[in-house]
């Protein structure tokens, strides 16, 4: 009975799948159409919404999507657990902040004249202040953050797992503390003031959320593009090999030092550019914006979305950020309204946004229990072999096969004289144990 | 290369390929010293290996695993990957073709499973993937650490003939093996290790009659009897 029911269910599912409009699109076109729909939706959103607060929430969510993409390179691709990722966000933010605000004001002198002519500085009275363009600072901040990524990454190269996490946690704590205690550059806990808004052809973005939203869309699109291209390349494969088995990766010719540092640098560059975007949008920066909870939140976003999955982490970041800044407030309003309707006092005072950490925790536990691979898993299941494929005759392969590319294999083309491999007097000790004693081995 | 368990066979492989730093000793490969080079440089010189207890990348597909073996022979950098420059694209395409051809060495054992995650494969197939991964780097010398472990007699014979075939193509192979029929069939020269020391070297027949070897394998009394 149950068998029949399951069979019928399976059949109807198959029928539904076949009848749905998606099934009529060629499988190769489906991802492209999906991307096109998401792009159109993202571009039309401000036109449809017309609510500045919502557009502002979406622009913030895009910043976090960009951060999640960057952390995904380090944690998702290369498998290096980084608990201090917000440090690079801070470095990017303060790099722009310092060069586009009234914070650093050296005395005016002839030295600054060429810079003034280039538009990088302006002078009011006898002091200089920096007015470097936002568009120029985006790549510069990314490069500065990448430099610090390599700097922080280098001492952690020999560490993995828990130890790596603790050291990165340390760096994540150091950067905001340095920012707080360097008031000459960062204005300390008071926060930078007067960070310039971006300008495009002489038109300042000001405080309207819509232009920032579009910059955010462009930034996230660029980072998605970068992530997907890298993931499917030689570099992405090397990162995943290091993630899966570091020793084997090294034995297969992957330079661990180089590729780990590359992951740190690219991940940090993403955060640096995002920091610039975020500060330009907020027009201030305080050390509190980059503390440990931010690093954890980005990590939660990528775990929620699907660690290692480019579209997954974007979705995870957008959902959690919009939940926090937009949906929870609406939900609180509805609960207040419901409380008034049914005369329940406590329901009228519920503030869901203030218990966001608890809600994140519940989401995370639920995900770990029921969908550990995240919303959009990084790997998709491959269809099992059919019965005929499984029982197909096993060809003998081997030398009977006609190889046309395997030439160059082997030692026949070598020029050097002498044996191919000569091991002499090899002794290996593990503590007191002599594993090998003066072993000789020659391969002609 | 044969020897009882714990006699140092795998340690010797590790020391040659740079995974273990030897206390003393010299390794010369094709006339150049490779002692104390990091493992990735050793592979770059043309020496590839497999591991006794399988070190594949379990979350990746068969083809991806083999493509990683090709890593050292490719040169695409971040910019090439990002912009998909014509050169990088051609290189990627050629690498994929090359890897598919290596999978074909094992008949149709691996070809239909090229897009399957390695962790879903049978033990024998994982051993084949590891050999394919090592072959993808176009090595001059291949170090195989018990390639037939966990295979049934038929699969063992099949793999033995494939290894023989690779050898006939010109590839030098150092093989650690416990199954003596495979050793006798494949080896030109046998080296016997015991307690970290080389106790015998020679043709399979000569080694089989060696008293030291019998003692190492069967114990003192058996050798005397």
Contacts of B27 in chain A (CB under 8 A): 421-424, 426
A384 phi/psi in degrees, rounded to 5: -65, 155
Structure tokens belonging to residue A239: 């990162």
ipTM given for this complex: 0.92
**Which of A158, A233, A398 is the best substitution to test chain B (most B C-beta atoms within 10 A)?**
A398
The tokens for B11 are: 């340690």
User: Of A397, A192, A407, nearest to A289 (Cα)?
Assistant: A192
Contact A438 B197 (CB under 8 A): yes
> Would you call A421 and B16 a contact, using CB atoms and an 8 Å cutoff?
yes
Answer yes or no: is A390 within a domain: no
Q: Token pair 């399979």 is at which residue?
A: B204
Q: Is residue B220 part of a domain?
A: no
Q: A195 — phi, psi (to 5°)?
A: -70, 130
| pLDDT at residue B99 is higher than 50 | yes
Q: Which of A252, A406, A427 sits opposite B101 (nearest CB)?
A: A406
Q: Is residue A328 part of a domain?
A: no
Closest chain A residue to B82 measured between Cα atoms?
A229
Chain B CA closest to residue A243:
B57
Tell me the count of A-B CB pairs closer than 8 A: 263
Q: For residue B81, which residues of chain A lie inside 8 Å, CB to CB?
A: 229-230, 233-236
**Minimum-distance CB partner of B27 among A226, A406, A423:** A423
Q: What is the mean pLDDT of residues B76-100?
A: 89
Write out the H or E segment, with its range, that includes residue A89. Answer: helix A86-99
- Asked, for residue A182, whether it belongs to a domain, the answer is yes
C-beta pairs of A39-46 under 8 Å, 24+ apart in sequence: A39/A221, A42/A217, A43/A214, A43/A217, A45/A213, A46/A209, A46/A210, A46/A213, A46/A214
Q: How confident is the model at residue B14 (pLDDT cuts 50, 70, 90)?
A: very high
- Number of independent structural domains in chain A: 1
**pLDDT beneath 70, residues of chain A:** 1-23, 380-418
CB-nearest to B105 from A253, A398, A411 is A398
Burial class (CB within 10 angstroms; exposed 0-12, middle 13-18, buried 19+) of A5: exposed
Closest CB from B32, B69, B81 relative to A229? B81
Report the domain count for chain B.
Answer: 1
Distance from CA of A431 to the nearest CA of B (A): 11
Q: What residues of chain B lie within 8 A of the CB of A420, using their CB?
A: 29-30, 140-141, 172
Q: How close, in Å, is residue A130 to chain B by CA atoms?
A: 32
Q: How far is CA A313 from CA A45, A218, A232, A412, in A?
A: 20, 17, 17, 49
User: Residues A60-102: pLDDT tens digits?
Assistant: 999 999 999 999 999 999 999 999 999 999 999 999 988 888 8
Q: Which domain holds residue A116?
A: 33-313
Half-sphere exposure of A139 (CA within 13 A, CB side): 3
Exposure string over B73-88, b if 16+ CB within 10 A, otherwise e: bbebebebbbeeeeeb
What is A100-160 written as a DSSP string?
A: SSSS--PBP-GGGHHHHHHTSEEEETTEEEE---HHHHHHHHHHHHHHHHHHHHGGGTT--
H or E element: which one contains A231?
helix A209-231
Whether B183 and B190 have beta carbons less than 8 Å apart is answered as yes
Give a yes or no: residue A274 inside a domain. yes
Amino acid B225: pLDDT: 46
Apex CA A330: angle with CA A326 and CA A334, to 5°?
170
DSSP letter string over B101-132? HHHGGGTTSSGGGTTSBGGGS-HHHHHHHHHH
Residue A124 lies in a domain: yes
User: What are the structure tokens assigned to B127, written together?
Assistant: 């051993």
**pLDDT on residue A194:** 80
Give which of A143, A429, A435, A440 to mutate to test B binding, by max B Cβ within 10 Å: A435
Chain B residues whose CB is inside 8 A of the A262 CB are 78
Quote the pLDDT of residue A399. Answer: 45
Instruction: List beta partners, residue B141.
Output: B47, B172
Interatomic CA distance for residues A288 and A180, integer angstroms? 9
Average pLDDT in the B145-167 region? 90
**Residue in B20, B26, B117 closest to A379 by CB:** B117
- Report CB contact under 8 Å: A409, B138: yes
How far is it, in rounded angstroms, from Cα A221 to Cα A42? 10
Domain assignment present for residue A435? The answer is no
pLDDT in tens, B17-61: 999 888 888 898 888 889 889 999 999 989 999 999 899 999 899
Query: What are the backbone angles phi and psi of residue B132, rounded to the nearest 5°?
Result: -60, -40
For testing contact with chain A, the best of B43, B55, B56 (most A CBs within 10 A): B55
Return the structure tokens found at A197.
Answer: 């808004």
> Does residue B78 sit within a domain?
yes
CB contact under 8 Å between A248 and B169, yes or no, is no
Q: Calculate the alpha carbon distances from B214 to B170, B210, B221 in Å.
A: 33, 6, 10
Question: What pTM was computed for the model?
Answer: 0.88
C-alpha dist (Å) from residue A40 to A44, A48, A156, A322 = 6, 12, 42, 19
Q: What is the pLDDT of residue A411?
A: 44
Determine the Cα–Cα distance for residues A272 and A182; give it in Å rounded to an integer. Answer: 19
Q: Please answer whether residues A77 and A310 qualify as being in contact, where contact means their C-beta atoms are separated by less than 8 angstroms.
A: no
Question: B111 pLDDT band (50/70/90 cuts)?
Answer: confident
Distance CA B225, CA B222 (A): 5
Distance from CA of B7 to the nearest CA of A (A): 7
Chain B CB contacts of A428 under 8 Å are 8, 11-12, 15, 20, 22-23, 25, 196
Would residue B225 count as lying in a domain?
no
Give the structural domain span for B36.
9-187
Strands B172-176 and B141-145: parallel
Mark yes or no for CB contact B8/A435 under 8 Å: yes
Alpha helices (H) in B30-189, listed in sequence order: 39-45, 62-70, 78-83, 86-103, 123-135, 153-168, 180-186
Please provide the distance, in angstroms rounded to a whole number, between the alpha carbons at the two ends of chain A: 69
CATH for B52: 3.40.50.300
Cα–Cα dist A69/A53, whole Å = 24
Mutate to test the interface with A, among B3, B4, B30, B112 (most CBs of A within 10 A): B30
Q: Is residue B38 part of a domain?
A: yes
Which residues, listed in sequence order, are joined to residue A428 by a DSSP beta bridge?
A436
A240 interaction partners in chain B (CB closer than 8 Å): 57, 59-60, 64, 68
């Amino acid at each position: 009975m149950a068998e029949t029911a399951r069979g019928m269910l399976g059949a109807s599912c198959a029928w539904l799948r076949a009848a749905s409009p998606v099934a009529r699109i060629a499988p190769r076109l489906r991802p492209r159409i999906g991307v096109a729909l998401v792009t159109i939706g993202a571009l039309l959103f401000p036109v449809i919404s017309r609510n500045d607060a919502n557009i502002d929430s979406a622009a913030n969510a895009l910043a976090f999507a960009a951060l999640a993409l960057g952390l995904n390179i380090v944690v998702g691709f290369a498998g290096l657990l980084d608990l201090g990722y917000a440090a690079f966000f801070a470095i990017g933010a303060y790099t722009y902040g310092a060069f586009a605000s009234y914070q650093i004001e050296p005395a005016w002198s002839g030295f600054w004249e060429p810079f003034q002519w280039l538009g990088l500085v302006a002078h009011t009275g006898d002091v200089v202040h920096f007015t470097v363009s936002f568009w120029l600072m985006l790549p510069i901040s990314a490069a500065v953050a990448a430099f610090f990524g390599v700097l922080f990454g280098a001492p952690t190269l020999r560490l993995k797992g828990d130890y790596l996490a603790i050291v990165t946690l340390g760096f994540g704590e150091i950067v905001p503390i340095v920012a707080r205690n360097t008031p000459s550059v960062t204005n300390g806990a008071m926060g930078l003031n007067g960070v310039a808004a971006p300008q495009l052809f002489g038109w300042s973005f000001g405080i309207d959320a819509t232009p920032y939203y579009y910059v955010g869309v462009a930034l996230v699109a660029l980072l998605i593009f970068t992530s997907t291209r890298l993931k499917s390349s030689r570099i992405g494969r090397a990162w995943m090999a290091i993630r899966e088995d570091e020793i084997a990766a090294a034995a297969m010719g992957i330079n661990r030092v180089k590729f780990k540092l590359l992951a740190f640098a690219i991940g940090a560059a993403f955060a640096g550019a995002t920091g610039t975007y975020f500060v330009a949008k907020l027009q201030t920066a305080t050390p509190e914006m980059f503390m440990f909870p931010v690093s954890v939140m980005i990590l939660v976003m990528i775990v929620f979305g699907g660690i290692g999955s480019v579209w997954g982490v974007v979705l995870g970041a957008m959902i959690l950020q919009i939940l926090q800044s937009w949906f929870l407030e609406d939900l609180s309003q509805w609960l207040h309204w419901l409380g008034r309707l049914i005369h329940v006092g406590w329901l009228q005072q519920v503030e869901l946004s203030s218990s966001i950490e608890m809600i994140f925790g519940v989401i995370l536990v639920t995900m770990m229990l029921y969908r550990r691979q995240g919303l959009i898993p990084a790997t998709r299941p491959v269809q099992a072999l059919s019965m005929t494929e499984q029982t197909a005759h096993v060809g003998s392969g081997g030398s009977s096969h006609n190889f046309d590319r395997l030439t160059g294999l082997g030692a026949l083309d070598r020029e050097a004289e002498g044996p191919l491999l000569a091991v002499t007097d090899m002794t290996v000790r593990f503590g007191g144990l002599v594993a090998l004693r003066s072993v000789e081995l020659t391969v002609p | 290369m044969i020897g009882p368990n714990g006699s140092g066979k795998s340690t010797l492989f590790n020391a040659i390929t740079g995974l273990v730093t030897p206390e003393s000793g010299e390794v010369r490969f094709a006339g150049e010293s490779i002692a104390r080079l990091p493992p990735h440089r050793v592979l770059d010189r043309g020496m590839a290996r497999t591991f006794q207890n399988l070190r594949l990348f379990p979350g990746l597909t068969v083809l991806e695993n083999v493509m990683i073996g090709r890593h050292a022979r490719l040169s695409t950098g971040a910019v090439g990957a990002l912009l998909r420059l014509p050169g990088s694209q051609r290189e990627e395409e050629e690498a994929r073709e090359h890897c598919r051809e290596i999978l074909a060495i094992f008949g149709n054992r691996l070809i239909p499973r090229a897009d399957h995650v390695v962790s879903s494969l049978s033990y024998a197939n994982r051993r084949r993937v590891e050999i394919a991964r090592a072959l993808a780097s176009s090595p001059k010398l291949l170090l195989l650490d018990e390639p037939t472990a966990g295979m049934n007699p038929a699969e063992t014979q099949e793999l033995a003939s494939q290894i023989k075939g690779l050898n006939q193509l010109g590839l030098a192979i150092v093989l650690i093996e416990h199954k003596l029929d495979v050793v006798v069939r494949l080896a030109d020269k046998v080296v016997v290790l015991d307690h970290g020391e080389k106790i015998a070297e020679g043709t399979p027949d000569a080694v089989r009659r060696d008293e030291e070897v019998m003692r190492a394998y069967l114990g003192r009394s058996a050798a005397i009897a």
